[in-house]
Structure 1
Amino acid sequence: MKALIYDGPEKLAFRDAPDPQPTPGQQLIRILAVGICGSDMHAYLGHDERRPAPLILGHEAAGVITGGPRDGERVTINPLVSCGTCTACMMGKDNLCPDRKIISMPPREGAFAQFVAMRDENLVTVPAHIPFAKASLAEPIACGWHAVRLARHTLPSARTALVIGGGAIGLGAALSLVAQGIHDITIVEPNGLRRDYLISHCNQHAISPDDLPQNALFDVVIDGVGYAATRATASAHARPGGVIGHIGLGEGTGGLDIRRMTLQEITFIGTYTYTAQDFRDTAQAIFDGRLGPLDWTEARPLSEGPNAFADIRAGRTPAPKIILEPHS
């Protein structure tokens, strides 16, 4: 098969790779759409020691089962594989399984390829009317869905929200907020090209960081970026008694105003990916149309992956998500 292979910092090559070999309980999936995630970009830049070269990246995927009794079934892939038997898994918090593995991280190759093998329980059937590009958004949007669910559980009375970052994670969180009952949402996005796209194409209230009033306070703040500067923004703009849902993994330390958070009883929730139920709920919300038209992606052939990464790196892409098509 053909695959896009990470060979080192800012080095990607489109070349032949061994076909995956499904084991019992797994299916072979012909990948038809796979999104570029921020974590893929971190690896591409050499910032993720968990993803050493050479490696096939990519984990936001959808396609068609090839062979076996489910041949031809359209599916979207939950890339997070948990053990199913530990305390976290038994509590329904399988995203916290100590033995969890994800495709695109050794020993599991990722989905920037024409085929991937995945176990049955990680596959969600996609209705015929849903394009594969939309189905592949279940994974990134599930991250925001999970963060919003936890924030809403902590503060059921929440009515206003600030989302930091207007990429797919931030936009997915904004759409999840609406689907879960919070409609007064502001997105802060520093890239003018992206910000204009969010306003004109996605009907979002998106502003520059410089236009965020210093005294503006929100019930819920979702940080979809995860840098010290964005955490500083989050802790400054959560209202007393509010909630910060932290998704982004930009850098590991700094930014939080612990004194203000303590004195104002602001809850900080670190959120990692999503549970299997969150993934299924997000997929169903996509199928039902509760997350909107989801027409804010840009499609490119997998062979153009190196240019796509370079364009994202340079901030030249207005669309929040680039979808790669391995069979184009």
Structure 2
Amino acid sequence: MKALVLEEYKKLVYKDVMDPEIRPDEVLVRIKACGICGSDVHGFDGSTGRRIPPVIMGHEASGTIETTGQAVKKWHKGDRVTFDSTVYPLDDWFTLEGRYNLSDNREVLGVSPGEYRRNGAFAEFLSVPQHILYRIPDSVTFEQAAMVEAAAVALHSINVAQMKAGDSCVVTGAGMIGTFLIKLLRIAGAGIIIAIDIDSGKLASAKEAGADKVFNASEKNIEEKIKALTNSRGSDISFEAAGKNETVNTAIAAARKGGTVVLIGNTSKTIELPLQKIVTGELKILGSCAIRGEYEIILKLLEDKRLNVDDQISAIAPLSEGADWFRKLYNKEGNLRKVILIP
């Protein structure tokens, strides 16, 4: 099969590789669409250390089942499917507790951090276990289904936050996850939604997605401006979707006393935290990792036309041109949002 292989950092090669084998409980998926995630772009240059070459990246994908393993009964050739980005064992303690995203033995598609190498979906075929599959509704396209993973990550963070209708919310980092956060917060009945980013283009997109107010991170006195919009308190919930020292501290500064800060961004390994503000303000600092069952909800929102993902797709291109699109994203050319590659 053909695949886009990260042979070394900043070197992607479209080449022939061996077709994946499937185990009895797995299916072979013919990939129809795979989105380039921001984490793939960071993996491209080695900045996160989680995509050690050689590896086939890609975890935001959809396709049709080509063949099934002997133990697979409810899935059949031709079924239209998408799948969780996390491969997890069913007998793990965390899985049995309903928190498979925290499994000690989880592996992420298209990731090779050193402990494992799990090839991903920038390829013609991919083998995945049947328990991470989700059926795509007839009215949802393969390209739309390739956007489900990013939206599900955003929805999981809202579930982690235990948001209530009317809660004031700040979203720091208006990239793909941040934009979906804004859309889903609006659907979920949030109160005022405020977006913060350094990029004026992303702030414009955040406004279109449903943010009531946007601030450029370079502005002065943002904390006071947020208080002025939230009854002099600060936000009930503050989401951080960039994963950098400055943005995490911005998110914490935006939260009211007794408020909740949810950290989604995972770019930096370590950051500095304002300990005294957290302690004296009794802030709840929560991490949100990947997805835990949110795929079906996102697929239903797409089917019902309640969530629009098409406005986030900047380009649909052949997988053979993938190296060029990675370069454009890496160099931040053209204000690109999501690029979807088609094998």
Same fold by TM-score greater than 0.5: yes
The one of 299, 306, 312 aligned to 1:283: 299
Cα offsets for 1:135-178 (capped at 9, x unmatched): 111111111111111112xx536521111112211112222222
SS in 2 for 1:110: coil
Partners of 1:51 and 1:164 lie apart in 2 by 26
Partners of 1:77 and 1:317 lie apart in 2 by 30
Report the counterpart of residue 123 of structure 1 in structure 2. Answer: 133
| 8 Å contact kept, 2:21–2:127 | yes
Report the counterpart of residue 279 of structure 2 in structure 1. Answer: 262
State the 1:12 CA deviation. 0.9
Report the counterpart of residue 42 of structure 1 in structure 2. Answer: 42
- Correspondences of 1:147-296 after superposition (within 5 Å): 147-152=157-162, 156=164, 159-199=167-207, 202=209, 204=211, 205-211=213-219, 213-215=222-224, 216=226, 217-275=234-292, 277-296=293-312
State the 1:259 CA deviation. 0.9
* Paired amino acid for 2:181: A
Partners of 1:257 and 1:30 lie apart in 2 by 48
- TM-score w.r.t. length of structure 1: 0.92
Report the counterpart of residue 80 of structure 2 in structure 1. Answer: 74
* Paired amino acid for 2:282: E
| 8 Å contact kept, 1:194–1:320 | no
| 8 Å contact kept, 1:163–1:170 | yes
Higher mean displacement: 277-286 or 231-240 = 277-286
Change (3 A) 1:86 1:293: closer
* Paired amino acid for 1:171: T
Report the counterpart of residue 20 of structure 1 in structure 2. Answer: 20
Partners of 2:274 and 2:79 lie apart in 1 by 49
Change (3 A) 1:197 1:178: closer
Report the counterpart of residue 229 of structure 2 in structure 1. Answer: none
Change (3 A) 1:135 1:247: same
* Paired amino acid for 1:213: I
Partners of 2:206 and 2:342 lie apart in 1 by 24
| 8 Å contact kept, 2:33–2:341 | yes
Q: CA RMSD in A?
A: 1.9
SS in 1 for 2:12: strand
Partners of 2:210 and 2:258 lie apart in 1 by 29
SS in 2 for 1:56: coil
Partners of 1:300 and 1:256 lie apart in 2 by 41
Matched, 1:108 2:118: yes
What percent of counterpart residues are identical? 29
| 8 Å contact kept, 1:230–1:255 | no
Partners of 2:178 and 2:342 lie apart in 1 by 23
Report the counterpart of residue 139 of structure 1 in structure 2. Answer: 149
Higher mean displacement: 216-225 or 249-258 = 249-258
Report the counterpart of residue 314 of structure 1 in structure 2. Answer: 331
- Whichever of the two has the greater Rg, that structure is 2
Gaps (5+ residues) in structure 2?
69-74, 227-233
Gaps (5+ residues) in structure 1?
none
Aligned residues between the structures = 322
Partners of 2:153 and 2:199 lie apart in 1 by 22
Cα offsets for 1:84-131 (capped at 9, x unmatched): 122211111000111111211243211111111111111111012111
Partners of 1:87 and 1:158 lie apart in 2 by 36
State the 1:183 CA deviation. 4.6
| 8 Å contact kept, 1:194–1:319 | no
